[in-house]
Amino acid sequence: MKSEEQYFNEAESIQNYMENMSQLKDKSYSVYESFTLPDEELANTLRKQSLHFLVITEDWCGDAMMINPIIRQVAEAANIDMRVVLRDSEPELIDRHLTNGNRSIPIILILNQDGEMIGKWGPRSPKAQALVDEYAAALPDKDDPEFQAAQKDMIKALTHRFTNDEALWHDVYESFKQTVQDKQSR
């Protein structure tokens, strides 16, 4: 069984991953180019450590489309190597990091200089989760003939919010920052 560090060593950089995305690339770059780190606190904290990030993701995922560019900005500001593993290509890795029994993405694994996992964040910030829950609660039952159309509309609306809602972006940043701070206090 490969370690998280072995996956990291075999993974591609976030820069290459985003450049080669086949889905949601423009939207992901829009978030990347529009988001500005609200402060230097997190980058300064991370810069003092020898960390690297391994992201489990897929380019069709709306959550990843918003989150990966934000965490990329953090990594670049802190001079942290951030690499990407595709969930569907490496099911044994995501199966170690399930969310409520699901293969939810993205998952950001925080690894120390020895390659040990010292933290994990994802798949969503609290506000993004609340928004998804709110939209999902309005869907008809899965056996309703209108379900598929309503689900497509929900995904379109969420993608729009994830691409344009700066408050959600800042919630991702603050939630990730809290994870790092919690890791520090242990």
Residue 184 confidence (pLDDT) above 90: no
What b/e readout covers 22-61, taking b as 16+ CB neighbours within 10 angstroms?
eebeebbebbbeebebeeeebbeebeebebbbbbbbbbeb
The CATH code belonging to domain 4-184 is 3.40.30.10
Mean pLDDT of the chain: 95
pLDDT computed for residue 186 by the predictor = 54
Name residue, tokens 């959600």: 168
Quick: pLDDT tens for 134-162: 999 999 999 999 999 999 999 999 999 99
Quick: pLDDT tens for 156-180: 999 999 999 999 999 999 999 999 8
Domains of the chain, residue spans: 4-184
Contacts of 123 (CB under 8 A, 6+ apart): 63, 67, 99, 104, 105, 106, 107
**Coil vs helix vs strand at 107:** strand
Quick: pLDDT tens for 20-68: 999 999 999 999 999 999 999 899 989 998 899 999 999 999 999 999 9
pLDDT computed for residue 117 by the predictor = 94
Residue 185 confidence (pLDDT) above 80: no
pTM of the model: 0.94
